[in-house]
């Protein structure tokens, strides 16, 4: 029972920090301004790790590897913790086990990225109805725009209601099914 509680806390902490790192990565990739409450929070929360890593891992094609790599490694660390607490090391050879863990870490990072997208789409939809001029409205809209724009070209608003966030959420859920 104590191991299960510890695993829950570890999962919550690693999940929170991984989402923060992924949010920083996507905000930089989509050129979202960090000069807002959300951007300042993300930068202050992750700077202690990202700044030193930038010296070792420079950007690649405009992508911030110093934010993406620790998010991936945190997921690998979580998988190692889960396997060690559940006794899953005895089943496979070390090479197969490491390959599986690194592959599952990539899948877990991708799944968290999709959950982050779904959360941003949901938040944008709610903010557009409730408080379109909220301080979070602009950064969230910038974050989701690359995903919504192609859908908005195909599906025009119906009675001034934009259905593209709903369609994007359904497509993201479909991708999650295959992961």
Question: Which tens digits make up the pLDDT trace of 16-61?
Answer: 999 999 999 999 999 998 998 889 999 999 999 999 999 888 888 8
Question: Whose CA is closest to 118, among 177, 164, 152, 168?
Answer: 168
pTM of structure: 0.89
**48 Cα distance to chain centroid:** 19
For 99-115, the pLDDT digits (tens) are: 888 999 999 999 999 99
How is the chain split into domains, by residue range? Answer: 2-178
Between CA 177 and CA 73 the distance in angstroms is 23
Question: Whose CA is closest to 63, among 117, 113, 8, 24?
Answer: 24
């Amino acid at each position: 029972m104590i191991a299960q509680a510890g695993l829950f806390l570890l999962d919550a902490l690693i999940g929170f920090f991984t989402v923060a790192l992924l949010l920083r990565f996507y905000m930089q990739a989509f050129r979202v301004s960090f000069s807002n409450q959300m951007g300042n929070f993300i930068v202050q929360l992750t700077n202690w790790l990202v700044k030193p890593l930038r010296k070792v891992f420079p950007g690649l094609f405009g992508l911030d590897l110093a934010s993406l790599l620790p998010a991936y490694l945190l997921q690998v660390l979580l998988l190692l913790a889960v396997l060690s607490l559940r006794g899953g090391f005895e089943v496979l050879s070390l090479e197969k086990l490491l390959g599986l863990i690194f592959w599952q870490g990539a899948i877990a990072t991708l799944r968290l990225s999709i959950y982050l997208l779904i959360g941003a789409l949901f938040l944008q939809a709610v903010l557009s109805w409730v408080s379109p001029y909220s301080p979070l409205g602009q950064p969230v809209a910038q974050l989701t725009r690359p995903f919504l724009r192609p859908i908005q070209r195909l599906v025009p608003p119906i009675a001034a209601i934009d259905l593209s966030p709903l369609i994007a959420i359904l497509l993201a859920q479909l991708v999650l099914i295959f992961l």
